[in-house]
Amino acid sequence: MSLTVVSVADRQETLPRIEQWYLEEWPGWYGPSGPGDARLDLTACLADPACLPSCLVALDAAAEPVGTVSLRTSSPGSDRYPGAWLTGLLVPPHKRRLGVGSRLVEAAEQEAGRLGFGEIHATTGAARSLLERRDWQCIDSMETRTGSLEIFRKSLGR
């Protein structure tokens, strides 16, 4: 699949679709009774392209959004390991297993490096194999109200 990954700041028309993905994928957080606000989280990424938070969107050959990922300074585990955190990695079910997630993680790594970070972190309960294929190391684990998460880190070679 041919993919281009760009900042949502450059493709703001994709924000409603990404917001809908957030609501569908994480209803316990972004749904009506959840503590999160998808629109607020996404619009925060538009403020300053030279710092975090940042949100990226993958576009297919027809320029349709097929996935998203964010970089933030806060995430479960960021109290233990400050810095850049890969968050909000989301590929709609019908676009999974086509390399979109891997390309988004690669783009997030590049963006974190561009912003001057020497390493990047992520917490996950579901993307372990994807991160390990990209040479991330599991460094810790933690319990949350929704279950156990593993904390990963990748050196960006700075």
pLDDT score at 128: 85
* Fold category of 4-155 in CATH: Aminopeptidase (3.40.630)
Mean pLDDT score, 111-116: 93
Q: 3-state class of 40 per DSSP?
A: helix
CA distances in angstroms from 32 to 20, 27, 36, 123, 139, listed in the order given:
13, 8, 9, 24, 34
Report yes or no: 72 and 52 within 8 Å, Cβ to Cβ.
Answer: yes
Return the domain boundaries, the chain. Answer: 4-155
The pLDDT-based confidence of 158 (bands split at 50, 70, 90) is: low
pTM: 0.92
Q: pLDDT at residue 83 above 90? A: yes
The pLDDT confidence band at residue 14, using thresholds 50, 70 and 90, is very high
Reported as half-sphere exposure (CB side, CA atoms, 13 A), residue 129 has a value of 3
- Identify the CA nearest to 142 among candidates 73, 70, 75, 69: 75
What integer pLDDT is reported at residue 125 of this predicted model?
80
Dump pLDDT digits (tens) for 41-76. 999 998 887 788 999 999 999 999 999 999 999 888
**Residue 151 CA neighbour count, 13 Å, CB half:** 18
113 pLDDT more than 80: yes
111/76 Cα distance (integer angstroms): 20
Q: Is a pLDDT exceeding 70 seen at residue 92?
A: yes
Token pair in block for residue 112: 């974190």
- Alpha carbon distance 80, 24 (integer Å): 29
